[in-house]
Amino acid sequence: MKRYGNLWQKIIPFENLYSAAKKAQKGKRYRDNVLDFNYNLATELFKIQQELTNKTYQPGQYRTFHLRDPKSRLISAAPYRDRVVHHALCNIIVPIFEKTFICDSYANREGYGTHRALRRFTDFLRTHTCILQCDIKKYFPSIDHQILKQLIRRKIKCQDTLWLIDKIIDNSNPQEPTIQYFPNDTLLTPIERKQGLPIGNLTSQFFANIYLNPLDHFIKEQLKCKAYVRYVDDFALFSSDPDYLKDCRQQIENFLISLRLKIHPVKSQLFSTNIGATFLGFRIFHHKIRVRNQNIHRGRRRLKQLQKDFAQGKINVSDVITSLNSWNAHLEHGDTWQLRQQIFTSLLFKRD
């Protein structure tokens, strides 16, 4: 397996940091912290460059809050300058790992978004009679730092780059407590091993794909499953042989021990595709695709907030149009013509 060195001189140049800043501000350029950073953009970027060069860079403290979507999740927002560093790192290392990802891993990859995953899932559901749908139990809080670093070192040998990666991983703030035991663990093992990545970081999303990449290859190459889709920690195997999928579940559970992960005992189920399946906010059947009710309610709440922000002058017309086009494009992937007519024809945006 090829390992890559000499990456540091690609990460720290001003041009890469400037590109990272442009990406980090996307959709957030009018926020106070972004405006403050951009007011002295060159100075801020040179400061980051100097800190990285001298190895004095130290990530800042996370701002945390709970998001109910619909279940409660701890979201961690890194300081904006740290997000610039995350983008600068990912600009260089993402292409290295991208080559190792399978085609049916869809989350947080350019060109492999929600809608492409939904189409693939739908095709598999409509051509097979059974589905094994799984969810990793407390995935982000359970990611083991030592195992993650080992997986990254399979592809990267540049010590300076590994220093920055370790710095970001080690600075992860405490996540939701999760105590899980695996073979040969002592009573204290789950406490002694550092685990958990902050949801919200670009690097966390990318590292999460690296972490489950061995599972993807195991399912495709060892279990020989041709119909498989994964989106973050939600994955599904399709077949017309329920016994095969039942055996797959047992082998997946055994494999996940090596990653110190477990599938969710309730959310992971084997069932007939005739009854339909839920994936990425849609309910997919053989002949139609519906939007889940809770997603509709959530969308309506966001539209009300959008109207409120526009009325108070927090956003402009172009921001409104962008948001409406985005949600409409999402709904278009289901059989939602009447729903979209009902929602969008009744909207009214006006200033206070």
- Which sign, positive or negative, has the C-alpha torsion 297, 108, 166, 16? negative
Output the pTM of the full model: 0.86
The tokens for 123 are: 């095709």
> Which tokens in the block code for residue 177?
């407590």
**3-state SS record for 146-206:** HHHHHHHHCCECCHHHHHHHHHHHHCCCCCCCCCCCCCCCCCCHHHHCCECCCECCHHHHH
pLDDT in tens, 94-136: 999 999 999 999 988 998 988 899 999 999 999 999 999 999 9
DSSP state of 230: E
pLDDT of the chain along its 352 residues, tens only?
789 999 999 999 999 999 999 999 987 777 888 888 999 999 999 999 999 999 999 999 998 877 766 667 788 889 999 999 999 999 999 999 999 999 999 988 998 988 899 999 999 999 999 999 999 999 999 999 999 999 999 999 999 999 999 999 999 998 888 899 999 999 999 989 999 999 889 999 999 999 999 999 999 999 999 999 999 999 999 999 999 999 999 999 999 999 999 999 999 999 999 999 999 889 999 988 888 777 777 777 777 887 787 777 777 787 778 877 776 777 777 777 777 777 777 777 777 6
CB 132, CB 115: distance < 8 Å: no
In terms of phi and psi (left: phi > 0; alpha: psi -120 to 50; beta: otherwise), the region of 276 is left
pLDDT given at position 81 = 96
For 234, phi then psi, to 5°, come to: -105, 115
User: What would the pLDDT profile of 299-350 be if each residue is shown by its tens digit?
Assistant: 777 778 877 877 777 777 877 788 777 767 777 777 777 777 777 777 777 7
Provide the 10 A C-beta neighbour count for residue 74. 19
